[in-house]
Amino acid sequence: MDSIVKSEVRLKYSGLVIFSSKLISVATGLLFIVMVTRTVSKGEFGIWGNIHDIFNYFVLLAAVLPFWTTRFVAREHSGSAKTGLIANIFLSIISAAIYLALLPIILSVLQVGATYTILYTIISIQILEVYTTSALQAVLRVKQPQTIGYGLLVHEACKVTLGFAMIIHLKLGLLGAASSMIIAYFAQIVFYMKLTSNELRESIKWTYVKEWLKGSSINLYDIVGTRIAAFTLIFLFMYGEVARAYYEAAFTIANVIGYSAFLAYALYPRLLSESNTKDISISLRMVLMIAIPMTIGVMVLSNSFLVILESGYREARIILLLLAINFLGLSLSQVFDTVVMGSERIDIKAKIPFKQLAKTRLFQIFTLSYVKPAITLPTTFFALLHFAKNPLEAATYVALINLIVNSVMLLCRYVISHKCLAFNFPWKATGKYIIASSVMATLLFVVPNPNRILPTLVITGVGGVIYFATLAIIDHETRELMKSILEETRSKLGRT
């Protein structure tokens, strides 16, 4: 019984460490974005968003092989860690080469000026880094999931420090922002390489790659569908750079809510080794306990968060409200996807029968990636062509369409995941989280919305304290969680 309790604590602890590092990165990430928005025009910030849109298409394969690497490492198949890293590096070189070859055509089609050619070119380095980082995280997710959070802090610290030097001091603008991110990724890779040094001493087994490539057909099936859906943002950029800037500003804030899904990060390797429905319920409670107050907090303080980016983005408030609700649903969707992936046993013997992939629930989940763009793409194109009268309306229509369709997809994911493992959804706990969040929101409404970074962060912290204090009073499990996490933290510190 004692081992079960400790196991549950570690499940929560790993998720909390990663989430906490993500939360800290909110402040550093916000500071970085503020440095960018305060030093470039709206048009250039739209370019910054477009760079990431294009970049994402060339890191499509970054998580394909690591998906199987994690599963093989969790099942202790020797050599899988090193094999996964080397294979992913090869893929990164191919992807970067394709990106550089197609870049002139991309810039011509999007009518991007020659001034930004160097900026788009150096992003190819980041392609190599993302593939490498993904492979190393696939190993750490099984062995030491909390260290992924530590690596994120290394990344963020380097990014902000270098960003201040290059963007503010040297006034390099977007070029300085891109260079800061590239160097920060390199520091993160070095940190992860040190942590995985033991696993990387094992021999490479190319037979694994053969199996992974067979299994990767289903991953590619999902990824292609996801990237097709992302064409809505390409449509928005073609409507106008300012429209894309409005969306990017709201996305930057709302995306923080999605970090709550990291609270369930340790659930995946746990389900790979043992299917325990109690772990699912615990993970859902952890995610909802944070995602609900974050969503409500972002909605209440929406003006403050947007103004600290730049006063001109205050108009994007309605977009932020829609995206906040959307990211709450996406956080739950990731947990449901984890249940499906973790309960799948098709590769249990280090063999992946290709013909049986289409019969799995993985295939059902990944098929939703095509249902979504089948609805969003024509709807978005029609709305931008016939209804949007200005950049703000264009970005609002895109956010609204994505919210509606993602809500339907959330319900589908819940049904599929529940068929895999009949877990109990924590409705009672959810009600308590909503009550505590309402108390927090009521008090935040009374306080005038601040317009500067420090006061905004302070009032956000005060809101968090109010929420957890209220929740601790009405929820016994929250009090036990705080106590167990404190004990686990003391134990970790005692060992060091």
318: pLDDT strictly greater than 70: yes
Rg of the chain over Cα atoms, rounded to whole angstroms, equals 22
Q: How far apart are CA 95 and CA 399, in angstroms?
A: 30
pLDDT of residue 3: 40
The neighbour count for residue 356, using CB atoms within 10 Å, is 10
Q: What pLDDT is stored for residue 5 in this prediction?
A: 38
Predicted local distance difference test score (pLDDT) of residue 156: 92
Q: For 19-74, write each residue's pLDDT tens digit.
A: 778 778 777 877 888 888 888 887 888 888 888 888 888 998 898 899 889 988 88
Report which residue type is found at 258: G
Q: Which residue has the higher pLDDT, 171 or 7?
A: 171
Model confidence at 6, in pLDDT bands (50, 70, 90)?
very low
Q: Is 121 exposed, middle or buried (0-12, 13-18, 19+ CB in 10 A)?
A: middle
* Range among 111-115, 131-135, 267-271, 386-390 rated most confident: 131-135
Instruction: Reply yes or no on whether the pLDDT at 111 is more than 90.
Output: no
- CB of 40 closer than 8 Å to CB of 173: yes
- The lowest-confidence range among 191-200, 218-227, 330-339 is 218-227
- How confident is the model at residue 462, as a pLDDT? 93
Q: Which domain holds residue 119?
A: 2-495
Please give the tally of structural domains in the chain: 1
Per-residue pLDDT, 475? 87
Can you tell me the distance from the alpha carbon of 30 to that of 454, in angstroms, rounded to the nearest whole number? 11
Dig out the tokens for 321 from the structure: 């409200």
CA distances from 173 to 34, 48, 357, 427 (A): 12, 10, 47, 48
Q: Which of 106-115, 179-188, 239-248, 484-493 has the highest mean predicted lDDT (pLDDT)?
A: 179-188
Say what the pTM is: 0.77
When mean pLDDT is compared across 13-22, 160-169, 417-426, 469-478, the lowest value belongs to 13-22
**Which of 14-18, 40-44, 170-174 is the least confident region?**
14-18
- The pLDDT of residue 308 is 79
pLDDT of residue 127: 96
* 8 or 487, which is more confident: 487
Q: State the average pLDDT for the chain.
A: 87
Confidence check: pLDDT of 17 > 50: yes
Neighbouring C-beta atoms of residue 408, cutoff 10 Å:
14
Q: pLDDT higher for 181 or 271?
A: 181
| Banded pLDDT at 238 (limits 50, 70, 90) | confident
How far apart, in whole angstroms, are the C-alpha atoms of residue 12 and residue 83? 30
What is the mean predicted confidence (pLDDT) over 308-314? 77
Phi, psi (5° rounding) for residue 451? -120, 5
Confidence tier at 222 by pLDDT (50, 70, 90): confident
Quick one: which of 185, 305, 186 has its CA closest to 256?
A: 305
Q: What is the share, in percent, of the chain residues with pLDDT greater than 70?
A: 94
